[in-house]
């Protein structure tokens, strides 16, 4: 669906400064129909790559294919919905006026526009506020309106830059539900975040960027499985003291047997697991 090949980008902050390399030979391939998280610390280069994908800035080298076309081909843009990191909304328009305005900019015919506004504002539970001016919207409402606006032209892929920033836990949960809704409708989703837990729950795949280099690209499941240790922790009571012992999977039966023989009461045994956060932290070393 989207293939980046050897994308590199440097910035020169001023004439005398040394070039700063923001992206180094980025290669990845997004498969269609998935929710893909784009993870990286602040300054890793996520926004730069997103701007390149959208054709706002040009890479120094490399090329991108979107839906089997060169990414600078105009017909490609009609297939993409994009929400920037800091969207701007005309405060005095009502939600409905804003969506109609977006639709006009994208040359959507009146019937389709009406249908799509109805569909997405119903799904995102923002229909009730469409007659209100945007200045009265909460952050979560604004975001839902923003989502609706990028979906009006039936894009095949939506690209969202840090859509979760500034949302409270309820807003985050809502976002995840909304993303699943959109994806169920057949839209592929690519969204950036610097927070691992946001990506962990909702994504199929993840692309991890560190200082302009991709350090992992693939299923989240695989990343977690491959990095989950083969060690177990046995918790047991030695008289009244809860003690624990870390053993390898091959030793665990023997050790448990020994503990029982010594009269210990086994409380539980579990695999030593690591969160995605720990894994990514390790990857980046
Ligand atoms: N126009 C620019 N000129 C100079 N440096 C830039 C420019 N845009 C981005 N950068 C630098 O590139 C790096 C990556 O930035 P960015 O892509 O915004 O990161 P992220 O979105 O992952 O936080 C940062 O160090 C940033 O300062
Ligand atoms: Mg950014």
- Altogether, the residues listed in the chain come to a count of 285
- Burial class of 138 by CB neighbour count within 10 A (0 to 12, 13 to 18, 19+): exposed
| Structure confidence at residue 113 (pLDDT) | 95
Task: Look at residues 101, 192, 188 and name the one whose alpha carbon lies nearest to residue 152.
Answer: 101
Question: Dihedrals φ, ψ of 115, to 5°?
Answer: -60, -45
Token pair recorded at residue 154: 């039936």
> Whose Cα sits closest to atom 5 in ligand 1?
11
**Pocket test residue of 10, 13, 22 for ligand 1, highest count of atoms within 8 A of CB:** 22
81 and 193 housed in the same domain: yes
Instruction: Tell me the mean pLDDT in the region 17-34.
Output: 90
Angle, CA 222 vertex, CA 216 and CA 224 arms, to 5°: 85
The owner of tokens 């119903």 is 122
154 and 274 housed in the same domain: no
Ligand closest in space to the Cα of 42: 1
256 and 176 housed in the same domain: no
- pTM, two decimals, is 0.83
206 and 279 housed in the same domain: no
Question: Dihedrals φ, ψ of 119, to 5°?
Answer: -60, -55
Our answer on whether the CB atom of 193 is closer than 6 Å to any ligand 1 atom is no
Q: Which residues contact 214 (CB under 8 A, 6 or more apart)?
A: 26, 27, 28, 207, 208
Our answer on whether the CB atom of 13 is closer than 6 Å to any ligand 1 atom is yes
99 and 38 housed in the same domain: yes
pLDDT above 90 (res 74): no
Q: Identify the residue with better confidence: 94 or 74.
A: 94
**What band does 194 get if pLDDT is binned at 50, 70 and 90?**
confident
CA 147, 151, 156, 161 torsion-angle sign:
negative
pLDDT above 70 (res 285): no
Taking the C-alpha atoms of residue 89 and residue 142, their distance in angstroms, rounded to an integer, is: 9
Residue at a domain's end among 219, 243, 263: 219
98 and 67 housed in the same domain: yes
Strand partners, 66: 2, 69
139 and 239 housed in the same domain: no
Cα 7 to its chain centre, rounded Å, is 20
Ligand 2 centre and the CA of 228: distance in Å?
30
250 and 181 housed in the same domain: no
Taking the C-alpha atoms of residue 93 and residue 221, their distance in angstroms, rounded to an integer, is: 43
Residue at a domain's end among 174, 196, 219: 219
pLDDT digits (tens, 9 = 90+) for 85-126: 888 888 999 999 999 999 998 889 999 999 999 999 998 889
Instruction: Tell me the mean pLDDT in the region 237-254.
Output: 89
Q: How many CA atoms lie within 13 A of 214 on its CB side?
A: 18
52 and 116 housed in the same domain: yes
Classified as helix, coil or strand, 262 is coil
* CATH number, domain containing residue 177: 3.40.50.300
pLDDT above 80 (res 281): no
7 and 115 housed in the same domain: yes
Domain span at 279: 227-283
205 and 237 housed in the same domain: no
Token pair recorded at residue 237: 């009571």
**What band does 284 get if pLDDT is binned at 50, 70 and 90?**
low
pLDDT above 90 (res 235): yes
**Pocket test residue of 8, 48, 191 for ligand 1, highest count of atoms within 8 A of CB:** 48
- Cα-Cα end-to-end distance for the chain: 31
> Whose Cα sits closest to atom 1 in ligand 1?
11
Taking the C-alpha atoms of residue 198 and residue 152, their distance in angstroms, rounded to an integer, is: 25
Our answer on whether the CB atom of 22 is closer than 6 Å to any ligand 1 atom is yes
pLDDT digits (tens, 9 = 90+) for 130-178: 999 999 998 888 888 998 999 999 999 999 999 888 778 888 888 888 8
Q: What value does the mean pLDDT of the chain take?
A: 89
Residue at a domain's end among 188, 219, 250: 219
How many structural domains compose the chain?
Answer: 2
| Structure confidence at residue 98 (pLDDT) | 96
Classified as helix, coil or strand, 218 is strand
Taking the C-alpha atoms of residue 145 and residue 149, their distance in angstroms, rounded to an integer, is: 6
Radius of gyration of the chain (CA): 24
Asked if residue 274 lies in contact with residue 219, where contact means CB atoms within 8 angstroms, the answer is no
Q: How many CA atoms lie within 13 A of 185 on its CB side?
A: 18
Ligand 2 centre and the CA of 84: distance in Å?
9
Instruction: Tell me the mean pLDDT in the region 199-207.
Output: 90
78 and 214 housed in the same domain: yes
Percent of the chain with pLDDT over 90: 57
């Amino acid at each position: 669906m989207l293939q980046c090949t050897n994308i590199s980008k440097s910035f020169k902050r001023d004439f005398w400064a040394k070039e700063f390399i923001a992206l180094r030979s980025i290669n990845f391939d997004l498969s269609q129909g998935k929710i893909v998280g784009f993870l990286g610390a602040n300054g890793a280069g996520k926004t730069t790559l997103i701007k390149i994908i959208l054709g706002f800035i040009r890479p120094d080298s490399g090329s991108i294919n979107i839906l089997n076309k060169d990414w600078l081909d105009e017909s490609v843009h009609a297939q993409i919905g994009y929400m920037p990191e800091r969207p701007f909304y005309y405060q005095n328009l009502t939600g409905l006026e804003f969506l109609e305005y977006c639709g006009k900019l994208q040359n959507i015919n009146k019937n389709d526009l009406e249908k799509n506004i109805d569909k997405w504002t119903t799904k995102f539970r923002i229909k009730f506020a469409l007659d209100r001016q945007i200045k009265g919207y909460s952050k979560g409402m604004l975001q839902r309106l923003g989502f609706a606006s990028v979906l009006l032209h039936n894009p095949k892929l939506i690209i969202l830059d840090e859509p979760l920033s500034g949302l409270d836990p309820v807003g985050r949960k809502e976002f995840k539900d909304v993303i699943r809704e959109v994806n169920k409708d057949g839209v592929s989703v690519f969204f950036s975040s610097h927070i691992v837990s946001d990506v962990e729950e909702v994504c199929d795949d993840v692309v991890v960027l560190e200082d302009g280099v991709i350090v992992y690209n693939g299923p989240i499941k695989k990343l977690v499985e491959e990095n989950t240790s083969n060690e177990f922790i046995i918790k047991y009571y030695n008289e009244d003291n809860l003690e624990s012992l870390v053993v390898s999977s091959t030793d665990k039966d023997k050790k448990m047997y020994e503990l029982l023989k010594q009269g210990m009461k086994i409380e539980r045994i579990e695999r030593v697991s690591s969160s995605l956060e720990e894994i990514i932290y390790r990857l980046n070393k």
